[in-house]
Amino acid sequence: MSVYENAQNFWEHFSSRQPEIEQALTSRDYPGLVRALEPVQESAMNLTGCGFFVEDAADQFEMTFDPGPNKTSQYLARYFTDLCPAEILKKWIVNPVLMPLSQKAVEAQVQIRDHVYTLMDFHVFYTVDQKAQTFQTRVYCPGYSLIDNEENKKEMSMYLLELAIGQTLYEAYIGSVDFVNEPPKEAVDFCGLVDFYEAIMTVVERDHWKTYKSPLEIYSVYQPFQDFAHDSLRKDMKIIFTTHPLLAEETLGSGSDVLLDLKAKEGEYGYIYYANPFNGKDDALLRQELSRQLDKTMSELHAGQVVGGAMGKSYSYIDWIVYDRTKFLKAFEQLRRKLDDKVELHYQPFGITGQDQGTQVTQVPEEDNSAKE
């Protein structure tokens, strides 16, 4: 099996339940909806690690994969939505991440002692960090003073903030989340939690911040700490750029959780590498162009997608999530032969040797946009 086959099977399963789900939504038969949706939700969780819910939008039905912050699940959700059949898309909006103020957010309730609070009862106090292009936030609810456990209040604040503004804005612009038991006495910007999405976008548009359509567009840039210059594979890296920070950290260390998570879902993380031909800045330009070319081809084949890469002293790297290993390797062999006069490409799955272990890493404060894909 492969992630590609899993996606095909998921949509076949959804199609078999589609009439029942649509009828339950239209008639507002919520017990019937729960029965019809439960096996689809179970399938979505098993195959992608995502929560899954549906709602009745104004003129179309709407479904949402809810991956949370798990980057592997975010990539799988994006892949599944890309493979959604056209017949389903005629009647359904399909979201690969949690959207702002979804029905799930509107219906969210928190019970504190004998009182039930909705999103309308929460406010957010915030300051804007223009240099980092982020918001530092503190969430307030009248019932917080009745909760003794501070960790519970912080987790509740993070969860409700994500529901209010959606996963993309949460990852892109929220620098910190805390709570307050009482409104702060100092002068600070604030608004209702249900209005915070608009408040964020006002600042983003007014001050021309970088915008994102997906959390998978957000890159982190790292410089490995090394005691001396290495020439060997994955130990010569001078700068790393990735949409999957945990994958980068894990493949530089001794962990395997990220790799095993994707493997359990029939996928694979790996990297294409080649010897640097120029020993100068032209190596970065070549890596960037190759990454674009290869990503375009593999994405069109639904075989894989670039998740980042690195520049090394001796080698350049393009990191991948592989959705269909057979398709990927077949296409890679054709591309390798086609590019043989320019570079000699090699592919290696992460985790099959110890070559990529034992290097510490630190995040670079300012991103080098020229290094990104």
Please state, in angstroms and rounded to a whole number, the distance separating the CA atoms of residues 290 and 318: 9
Q: What is the DSSP string of 219-230?
A: -EEEEEE-SS--
Mean residue pLDDT across the chain: 91
Tell whether the model's pLDDT for residue 352 goes beyond 60. Answer: no
What mean pLDDT do residues 256-269 have? 96
Tell whether the model's pLDDT for residue 254 goes beyond 90. Answer: no
What mean pLDDT do residues 178-185 have? 94
Give the residue carrying structure tokens 């001078």: 238
pTM of the model: 0.91
Rounded to 5°, the CA angle 110-114-120 comes to 40
Cα–Cα separations (whole angstroms), residue 306 to 241, 303, 322: 11, 11, 9
Q: Are 23 and 29 in contact (CB under 8 A)?
A: yes
Instruction: Catalogue the E-assigned strands of the chain.
Output: 51-56, 61-66, 92-95, 109-112, 115-118, 123-129, 134-140, 174-180, 189-192, 220-225, 237-242, 268-275, 304-312, 315-322, 346-349, 360-363
Residue type, 335: L
* Per-residue pLDDT at 364: 52
Q: Are 193 and 164 in contact (CB under 8 A)?
A: yes
Q: What is the b/e burial string over 184-215, where b = at least 16 CB atoms within 10 angstroms of the residue's CB? A: eeeeeebeebbebbebbbebbeeeebeeeebb
Please state, in angstroms and rounded to a whole number, the distance separating the CA atoms of residues 223 and 360: 9
What mean pLDDT do residues 37-52 have? 98
Please state, in angstroms and rounded to a whole number, the distance separating the CA atoms of residues 283 and 163: 42
pLDDT digit string (tens) for 65-109? 999 999 999 999 999 999 999 999 999 999 999 999 998 898 899
What mean pLDDT do residues 133-160 have? 95
Please state, in angstroms and rounded to a whole number, the distance separating the CA atoms of residues 284 and 241: 12
